[in-house]
Amino acid sequence: MLKIVVCVKAVPDPKEAHKIKIDPVTKTLMRSDVPLVLNLMDKNAMEAALQLKEQLDAHITVLSMGPPPAGNVVKECLALGADHGYLLTDQAFGGADAYATAYTLAQGIEKIGEYDVVLCGMASSDGSTEWVGPQIATVLKIPVVTRVKELVEYGGQWWQVKAGMENGYRLVRVKLPAVLTVSRELNTPRTLSFSGIIKARKKEITAWGINQLGLPEESVGQKGSPTIVSDLDSLTSRRTVEIISGTREEKAEQLVNKLADAGVI
């Protein structure tokens, strides 16, 4: 049986994320009540797992790290068809950078036990570093392929995948167990079904904290993070705008004239 672990992240809803701003005076983040949602590209990772399960004998475990409300995105993945959900949640995990996040997730994967494929979205909509997948692989001492946009050969011990790159792709041969981070091009994620939501009610989410993972405090969260945010600045450099007014035709004509005068069209 193919054992799949899908790592997902609860991110501020991208449609409302612009409401999170830096207070220019206190230099802290002003968090309005932006809801947490399942990171968009993690839906592609989840869809890849579900398609593999439809074709092969597979078991899907979903894993996330975050505050207790992040449990909702794990629940969403269970409703999509995952078999089991884990949420790594602890005050001590707070303030983690990409490395501490990857380290903690990797410890969670080790504790879950056997795994053949770890799937992650290529990037999160909030940090979008693309670091977590490769760094999970490093901690687990297994190979990784990032930006996977097509599974060419799969099912056996060696897989072949296309990894997206500038104006083309790399054809990569990789031996399981491996981490794959997936791009949006890989598939079209399915939407939640009512029966899925009903079935998910019976599935459980296991919550693990620092004690269950048996980790020292200095290895996780802010303490386990090599990088820190040392300062926040609101931006000041701006251009002086000229708003062009009039009817729609007048505005268009004036704009064309101004751009022609500037010699740019």
Q: Is 130 left (phi over 0), alpha (psi -120 to 50) or beta?
A: left
What residues numbered 57-96 form the site for another protein, per CB under 8 A? none
Residue 204 amino acid letter: E
Least distance in angstroms from the C-beta of 262 to another protein: 5
Count of residues making up the chain: 265
Closest of 154, 129, 147 to residue 2, by C-alpha: 154
HEC profile of 136-195: HHHHHCCCEEEEEEEEEECCCCEEEEEEEECCEEEEEEEECCEEEEECHHHCCCCCCCHH
Tell which one of 38, 48, 120, 172 touches another protein (CB under 8 A).
Answer: 172
Of 139 and 207, nearer to another protein (C-beta) is: 139
- Which of the ranges 51-59, 111-119, 206-214, 234-242 carries the binding residues for another protein, by CB under 8 A? 234-242
What residues numbered 123-152 form the site for another protein, per CB under 8 A? 123, 125, 127-132, 134-135, 137-139, 142-147
Each residue 181-220 as x (binds another protein by CB under 8 A) or -, in order, gives --xxx-----------------------------------
Q: Is 119 in the site for another protein (CB under 8 A)?
A: no
Tell which one of 38, 48, 163, 210 touches another protein (CB under 8 A).
Answer: 163
Q: Is 25 in the site for another protein (CB under 8 A)?
A: no
Tell which one of 38, 63, 98, 215 touches another protein (CB under 8 A).
Answer: 98
Q: Is 264 in the site for another protein (CB under 8 A)?
A: yes
What is the C-alpha to C-alpha distance for residues 71 and 83, in angstroms, rounded to an integer?
Answer: 15
Q: Is 40 in the site for another protein (CB under 8 A)?
A: yes
What is the C-alpha to C-alpha distance for residues 29 and 80, in angstroms, rounded to an integer?
Answer: 33
- Which of the ranges 72-80, 112-120, 198-206, 231-239 carries the binding residues for another protein, by CB under 8 A? 231-239
What is the C-alpha to C-alpha distance for residues 225 and 107, in angstroms, rounded to an integer?
Answer: 15
Closest of 85, 67, 68 to residue 76, by C-alpha: 85
Of 97 and 116, nearer to another protein (C-beta) is: 97
Q: Is 32 in the site for another protein (CB under 8 A)?
A: no
Closest of 182, 42, 179 to residue 118, by C-alpha: 179
